[in-house]
Amino acid sequence: MKVDRPLIVAPCRFEWAPVAIPDNVEPGKVRIRTLVSLISPGTELRLYRGEPMVEEVWDSFADIDAATTEGMGVAPEYRITARNQPSGAKYPVNCGYNLVGEVVEVGEGVRSLAEGDRVFALARHQPIFDAREWQAIKVPEGVPTEAGPFAYLPTLGLHALRRGGFTPGLNVAVIGLGLIGFGAALVADAIGAYLACLEISPARRRRAAAALPGALVLDPTEDGFEDALMERFQPFGIDVVVEAAVGPAPLDLGMRILDDQGRMVAIALHPEDVGPLLSADFYNKQASILGTSNAPYQDPAERLSRFTCAANIEFLLELHSKGRLHLEAMHTDTYPAAEIDVAFADLDAAERDMIGVLLDWR
């Protein structure tokens, strides 16, 4: 059978095009009918605008027949790498990689899922698709359908905190409260951080203050910012900075607020010019700067690494089901899936206020 799904065919232009779905579900796979999907404003707005990105990102979405994300986060064999030269647009492209759906058919050999189960999948904006069993992560009872699509993006913050050597009770600052940074802040709070959230957008600060009443939420450009930060966290300062904004200023800010021998973990994708990153503070504080992406996206049963993307998603969904992590705080707007073009246009026009946009396929 064939179903229509949206493709970006040119900058700021969608078209719906058919894709073939097998008549029968293959062994080891499940068929999923999408309930709601999330627009990831960083990557997907770049696809929508036609902005340069690392070539492998464009290539992954240019495979328009692939319904699920493949190969993301898999550690490559050792090699001497070239510079990450950006690639221009490669239209048409698929988009989307965060959704919750309902299992409507189960292939032979599937043991952990049944028809009617709600599942999270790293899959494209598409009404129905097939995925391997391990790619469909069961959503626990008590987790609202509208909260489930937000379970993946905060795993970037979870992975960053692990990279930064986080343990409960440390002082953590998150710089930038877009969807990635806000998710990192929610996770840090849920697992025991003393938290500061730094953001220049008033709307984003208000959202964080409402969701994280115990956190210190500040505009780092305002007078008195340093005094407020020091008053809350003295005498030790910030142990771990999660940097989720773009440009030299957030990196410089992170280095300034770190305590001696502190760690700054960069989630944001930066251009080559990152300013005076190796400033006097870097040496005097003996600071560490760490890069991060995410845990490998692979079958947890293979046990090739201690943490996998799927296992991290399961962990965050469990935290939500126990009332410790409030994923729904990232949800700001919902559009019918048929109006995906309107949703992207509105998000593009009001990016700082509309960070968590869902498409409803029901």
In a domain, 305, yes or no: no
**Domain enclosing residue 262, as ranges:** 154-291
Residue 98's nearest CA partner among 317, 354, 270 is 317
Residue 97's nearest CA partner among 139, 40, 59, 18 is 40
Omega within 30 of 0 (cis) for the link into 92 = yes
Residue 333's nearest CA partner among 358, 361, 353, 310 is 358
- 142 and 158 share a domain? no
- 202 and 235 share a domain? yes
Instruction: Say if CB 198 and CB 173 are below 8 A apart.
Output: yes
In a domain, 313, yes or no: no
- 17 and 130 share a domain? yes
In a domain, 54, yes or no: yes
Q: For position 75, what pLDDT does the model report?
A: 45
Query: Kindly report the CA angle at 60 between 56 and 61, in degrees rounded to 5?
Result: 125
- Residues 64, 68, 69, 74: is their CA dihedral positive or negative? negative
- 191 and 175 share a domain? yes
Q: For position 49, what pLDDT does the model report?
A: 95
Q: How many domains does the chain have?
A: 2
In a domain, 164, yes or no: yes
In a domain, 74, yes or no: yes
Structure tokens at 76: 């490559």
Domain termination site, one of 291, 321, 343 = 291
In a domain, 92, yes or no: yes
- 139 and 180 share a domain? no
pLDDT per position as a tens digit, 208-252: 999 999 999 999 999 999 999 999 998 889 999 999 998 889 999
Domain termination site, one of 273, 291, 309 = 291
- 122 and 19 share a domain? yes
- 110 and 205 share a domain? no
- 124 and 187 share a domain? no
In DSSP terms, 197 is beta-bridged to 174, 217
Q: Which residues of the chain have pLDDT under 50?
A: 72-76
In a domain, 320, yes or no: no
- 16 and 69 share a domain? yes
Q: CATH number for the domain including 162?
A: 3.40.50.720
What residues contact 300, with CB distance under 8 A and at least 6 apart? 134, 308, 310, 311
- 187 and 118 share a domain? no
SS3 per-residue string spanning the chain: CEEEEEEEEECCEEEEEEEECCCCCCCCEEEEEEEEEEECHHHHHHHHHCCCEEHHHHHHHHCCCCCECCCCCCCCCCCCCCCCCEECCCCCECCCCCEEEEEEEECCCCCCCCCCCEEEECECCCCEEEEEHHHCEECCCCCCCCCHHHHCCHHHHHHHHHHCCCCCCCEEEEECCCHHHHHHHHHHHHCCCEEEEECCCHHHHHHHHHHCCCCEEECCCCCCHHHHHHHHHCCCCEEEEEECCCCHHHHHHHHHHEEEEEEEEECCCCCCCCCCCCCHHHHHCCCEEEECCCCCCCCHHHCCCCCCHHHHHHHHHHHHHCCCCCHHHHCCEEEEHHHHHHHHHHHHHCCCCCCCEEEECC
- 106 and 218 share a domain? no
Domain termination site, one of 291, 307, 341 = 291
Q: CATH number for the domain including 119?
A: 3.90.180.10
Q: What is the largest CA-CA distance in the chain?
A: 64
Query: Kindly report the CA angle at 95 between 138 and 332, in degrees rounded to 5?
Result: 70
Chain-centroid distance, C-alpha 171: 22
In a domain, 301, yes or no: no
Q: For position 135, what pLDDT does the model report?
A: 95
- 93 and 165 share a domain? no
Instruction: Say if CB 146 and CB 335 are below 8 A apart.
Output: no
